[in-house]
Amino acid sequence: MPFSADSVVVALERNMWKNATTQNKNNPSRQAENQTTNPVPVAVNWHCEPHCNYSCFFCYAPFVEQQRKPRLTIVEGYAVLESMKDAGIEKVNFVGGEPMLHPHIKHWIKHAKALNLTTSIVSNGTRMSSEFLEEMSPYLDWLGLSIDASTDVLHAEMGRGLRGEIKKGVSNHLERSKLIIENAKKFGYGIKLNTVVCSVNQSDDMEELVRWIAPDRWKIFQVLTIKGENDHMPSYFSVQDNVFQDYIVRHQHALSDTPSIQVVPESNEQMLGTYAMMDAQSYVYTNQNGRYEYSKEPVTVVGFSEAWSTVSQGFSNNAFEERGGTWNWDKENSATLSLPMVDTEAGE
Ligand code: SF4
């Protein structure tokens, strides 16, 4: 068992949690009903850590309120993962804020893998030491890194860097990320690369960098405004639909000779209603109406299926499939992925 805390206390806490969720878990017909009428998604982005040490100007995961609340205990996190597994989730993507700032992140990734979930993390690279990557390689299937631009000058303009750096008008994000990628290559990680396109980087040429990173999957997001989260973002950061499309077409064409790199564009429309998310307190939520709609109770109280049933109308499995939400993420059982491989972060 991966528990490092006193086993008696852990067992007691686990029993308390299980008792608290009996209304769902001890009622198979209720759970089956939920799963029939409100099918759960196959993948969930768990925004497990609300704090972040970066200051991206477009950030739509600032979680200011959540930062004032206590973190889940290690045991609560285990129980949340177990409830997700029971509900039929196949893949958990640990995101933030910055997930690497969470004190239990390694334990939770290991527990998820012990439950036979596909594991993924999207990080700004914080604390991604060679030691971390080596230790976690048996447990972490996919390493997602957010790199928005081919130069750190552009990253500085986007706020993509440590707060101290951005205050000085600089960023060393790209240089740090390159070191992480080199180390990740050594340990055979599947790498996802995430890029947010806004007015600052809309004309950037990422071809050379993406070829060097050689990600399995490059997700390109059109910067998105979420009411109450990042609507303070200066309007000039937005990127017009046609300009976003031009960025996509340009890079798809440039990389057309490298089919091993899957380029996955996500416009604002494609992002809405196609993400199943859970916050650091284990409330599940969706974003179909351009704002976050949260479950009435957290997973720690009612279990995943019950919590999800209160927000599932804000999620479309069909639209999720259409935007390529299900992809070949099962490294162990895949016949088409060749390992080891390398790629490079917020979404699937
Ligand atoms: S690294 Fe991610 S969570 Fe942190 S400020 Fe940037 S976009 Fe937001």
Please return the burial class of 213, using the count of CB atoms within 10 Å of its CB with bins 0-12, 13-18 and 19+: buried
Is residue 45 in some structural domain? yes
Spacing, Cα 51 to ligand 1 middle (Å): 9
Domain of 111 in residue numbering reads as 39-322
Whole-number pLDDT of residue 107: 98
Give the number of the atom of ligand 1 that is nearest the alpha carbon of residue 345: 2
Instruction: Looking at mean pLDDT, say which of 160-174, 234-248, 319-333 comes out highest.
Output: 160-174
Whole-number pLDDT of residue 60: 78
Band of residue 224 on the pLDDT scale cut at 50, 70, 90: confident
Band of residue 231 on the pLDDT scale cut at 50, 70, 90: confident
Are 181 and 343 contacting, i.e. CB atoms less than 8 angstroms apart?
no
Instruction: Looking at mean pLDDT, say which of 170-184, 278-292, 311-325 comes out highest.
Output: 170-184
Is residue 142 in some structural domain? yes
Ligand 1 pocket, 105 CB below 6 A?
A: no
Q: Which region among 83-87, 137-141, 317-321 has the lowest average model confidence (pLDDT)? A: 317-321
What's the pLDDT tens digit per position in 90-133?
999 999 999 999 999 999 999 999 999 999 999 999 999 999 99
Are 147 and 171 contacting, i.e. CB atoms less than 8 angstroms apart?
no
DSSP for 126-137 reads TT--HHHHHHHT
Spacing, Cα 83 to ligand 1 middle (Å): 27
Spacing, Cα 115 to ligand 1 middle (Å): 28
Is residue 223 in some structural domain? yes
Whole-number pLDDT of residue 40: 84
Ligand 1 pocket, 61 CB below 6 A?
A: yes
Nearest CA to ligand 1 atom 7: 59
Spacing, Cα 136 to ligand 1 middle (Å): 22
Whole-number pLDDT of residue 345: 36
Band of residue 162 on the pLDDT scale cut at 50, 70, 90: very high
Spacing, Cα 60 to ligand 1 middle (Å): 8
Please report where in the chains the tokens 């917020």 appear, as a residue: 346
Are 155 and 165 contacting, i.e. CB atoms less than 8 angstroms apart?
no
Is residue 334 in some structural domain? no
Is residue 294 in some structural domain? yes
Which of 55, 56, 180, 225 gets mutated to test ligand 1 (max ligand atoms within 8 A of its CB)? 56
Ligand 1 pocket, 201 CB below 6 A?
A: no
Q: Residues 252-272: what's their mean pLDDT?
A: 90
Whole-number pLDDT of residue 327: 66
- Angle subtended at Cα 105 by Cα 287 and Cα 328, rounded to the nearest 5 degrees: 60
Helices (H), the chain: 7-20, 22-25, 28-37, 74-87, 105-114, 130-136, 152-158, 163-167, 173-186, 207-213, 241-254, 268-271, 299-302, 304-309, 317-322
Ligand 1 pocket, 141 CB below 6 A?
A: no
Spacing, Cα 103 to ligand 1 middle (Å): 18
What is the token pair recorded at 337? 């992925």
Q: Whose CA is closest to 236, among 270, 271, 202?
A: 202
Spacing, Cα 61 to ligand 1 middle (Å): 7
Give the number of the atom of ligand 1 that is nearest the alpha carbon of residue 52: 4
Nearest CA to ligand 1 atom 6: 56
Band of residue 248 on the pLDDT scale cut at 50, 70, 90: very high
Nearest CA to ligand 1 atom 8: 59
Spacing, Cα 52 to ligand 1 middle (Å): 6
Give the number of the atom of ligand 1 that is nearest the alpha carbon of residue 97: 3
Whole-model pTM over 0.85: no
Cα separation, 167 vs 34, in Å, equals 48
Whole-number pLDDT of residue 34: 42
Is residue 344 in some structural domain? no
What is the token pair recorded at 188? 């055979």
Cα separation, 155 vs 231, in Å, equals 20
Q: Whose CA is closest to 196, among 225, 170, 175, 167?
A: 225
Q: How far is CA 62 from the centre of its chain?
A: 14
Is residue 118 in some structural domain? yes
Band of residue 329 on the pLDDT scale cut at 50, 70, 90: confident
Cα separation, 183 vs 177, in Å, equals 10
Whole-number pLDDT of residue 90: 95
Whole-number pLDDT of residue 229: 67
Here the CATH number for the domain that contains residue 313 is 3.20.20.70
Handedness of CA 17, 19, 20, 22 (dihedral sign): positive
Cα separation, 315 vs 186, in Å, equals 38
Is residue 20 in some structural domain? no
What's the pLDDT tens digit per position in 209-221?
999 999 999 999 9
What's the pLDDT tens digit per position in 14-32?
433 333 333 344 444 434 4
Number of domains within the chain: 1
Spacing, Cα 199 to ligand 1 middle (Å): 17
What single DSSP character describes residue 325?
Answer: -
Instruction: Looking at mean pLDDT, say which of 8-12, 139-143, 226-230 comes out highest.
Output: 139-143
Nearest CA to ligand 1 atom 2: 97
Whole-number pLDDT of residue 332: 54
What's the pLDDT tens digit per position in 34-79?
444 457 899 999 999 999 999 999 887 788 889 999 999 999 999 9
173 phi, psi to nearest 5 deg = -60, -45
Q: Whose CA is closest to 101, among 169, 51, 139?
A: 51
Please report where in the chains the tokens 């699937």 appear, as a residue: 348
Ligand 1 pocket, 54 CB below 6 A?
A: yes
- Residue of 297 and 313 predicted with greater confidence: 297
Whole-number pLDDT of residue 342: 22
Cα separation, 268 vs 281, in Å, equals 26
